[in-house]
Structure 1
Amino acid sequence: MKARFEELDFQQTPMGELMLRRRTEVGTGTDIYEVKLGEEFLMSSLFTVAEEQMATLGLAAAAGDELDVLVGGLGLGYTAVTALGDPRVRSLEVIDALGVVIGWHQRKLLPVSPALVEDPRTRLRRDDFFAVVRQAPAADAPRYDVILLDVDHSPRHTLAPSHADLYTAPGLTALAEHLNDGGVFTLWSDDAPDEDFHATLASVFADTQAHVVDFDNHLTGGTSSNTVYVGIRQ
């Protein structure tokens, strides 16, 4: 008999104690995968609509038939795998600061892991996404057609203080240098649309939108929502 709760991995990381667990919902028998950092729930496979929509909206705004995509934050992998579902994607590089998270997928502990790691277009890279985009790209460094970012809770609620500068005009300007002309930056946020941040985004990118993504939340018996920001480099 399968246990209702199973701890799949537990690691001490620079950000704190990180746990990946699987639990089975009573009644439906559905397996839910959850990530906790200390006592805080970071993500759950129960709610992946907005993460998937982030990839869909970002790629929908991109022009071209051979797209190079950069994903900041691997997590449970739903954003990356959704991006791979677009046949125009030529390459997909995913940066995550935690090797343990990359290891989960390499060990195929999560439902989407096989689709992610077995696709020849995928490259998983352990690095600090924020440090990478903060630096000007070298002349021979790759530029991307789409950058998808899902690390912090929102521009105002970051997991680390060092992330905050990305959400300023200078930070977004530095990130934009890693995009090709007409490239797309897409950001997930757990908060409602933030007018001040949207104005900052619009000061850097030529065309911007803040999409509200609604999804059913059976835990509350209602509807929850996230925000997906999209900006296109001129």
Structure 2
Amino acid sequence: MFEELDYRPTPMGALSLRRRRDLVSGGDIYEIKLGDEFLMSSLFTASEIALARLGLAALAGTSLDVVVGGLGLGYTARAVLEHAQVGSLLVVDALAEVIEWHQRGLLPLGAELTSDPRCRLVLGDFFAGAASEAGFDTDHPGHRYHAILVDIDHSPKNVLHPSHAALYTVNGLMRLAAHLHPWGVFALWSNDPPDDEFQQTLGEVFATSHTHIVAFDNLRKDGEVTNTVYIAKRGR
């Protein structure tokens, strides 16, 4: 009914991958934990999928180049690859263990992601890439993208590491926006309700920005919960 598939100490804390049987559906649920915090559960993926679909819906054209910050269980990445206009996908994750779990097939979407020729899983610091002139791909320094989708921190104000906080400032977002094509899209997942202060910050950097509330059933008696997806678009 429960199995710990892997456990690794990391500089950010103990990282574990576990699988448990859902007593209601009879299916397997995969969970990634960092210390005592849940980073991802395959039981709740609606907002991770919505991050990709909402972000790409704001774009036109073909052969789109996309960056996803944060691999997790891979649901955002798979939703990107389901978009027929996507030509390439670069997924940046700071945890080698998570990438390895996908490559070894320990996670349900691993084989699908690693076998798609459009998709590359790379080990790296997304935040350092966003702040640098070289960007996210060491093989192609300075490369620009049509969309940058991020699901790493819990929210702009509840970050996994203090060094991440700089991204959510005007200067941090301006550096990130420099890696987008004109009319490119930045999309961000958040576990918190819409943040007026962060929306104002987005408005200082991007031509347009708005939020989407993604609601889903948390399968408990208290019913529905919500996450937030921010969508911001360059205009020049």
Query: TM-score when scaled to structure 1?
Result: 0.96
Partner of 2:202: 201
How far did 1:46 drift? 0.4
Paired-residue identity, %:
56
Selected match of 1:90 from 78, 87, 90:
87
Partner of 1:19: 16
The answer on 1:147 being equivalent to 2:144 is no
Partner of 2:215: 214
The answer on 1:29 being equivalent to 2:26 is yes
**AA in 1 matched with 2:145:** Y
Partner of 1:58: 55
**AA in 2 matched with 1:21:** R
**AA in 2 matched with 1:48:** T
How far did 1:217 drift? 1.3
Partner of 1:104: 101
- 1:74 & 1:195 partners in 2: Cα distance? 27
How far did 1:220 drift? 4.0
- 2:168 & 2:2 partners in 1: Cα distance? 37
The within-5 A match list for 1:158-173 is 158-173=159-174
Find runs of 4+ consecutive structure 1 residues off by over 4 angstroms: none
- 1:135 & 1:220 partners in 2: Cα distance? 46
Q: CA RMSD in A?
A: 1.2
Selected match of 1:48 from 23, 26, 45:
45
How far did 1:166 drift? 0.2
Q: Give structure 2 stretches of 5+ with no counterpart.
A: none
Secondary structure of 1:120's match? coil
- 1:59 & 1:122 partners in 2: Cα distance? 16
1:6-26 deviation digits (Å, cap 9, x = unpaired): 111110111000000000011
Secondary structure of 1:193's match? coil
The answer on 1:126 being equivalent to 2:123 is yes
Q: Give structure 1 stretches of 5+ with no counterpart.
A: none
Partner of 1:137: 134
Partner of 2:74: 77
Query: TM-score when scaled to structure 2?
Result: 0.95
- 2:24 & 2:208 partners in 1: Cα distance? 46
Contact 2:174 2:205 in 1 (8 A): yes
**AA in 2 matched with 1:66:** S
How far did 1:219 drift? 2.5
**AA in 2 matched with 1:54:** L
The answer on 1:174 being equivalent to 2:175 is yes
- 1:11 & 1:32 partners in 2: Cα distance? 20
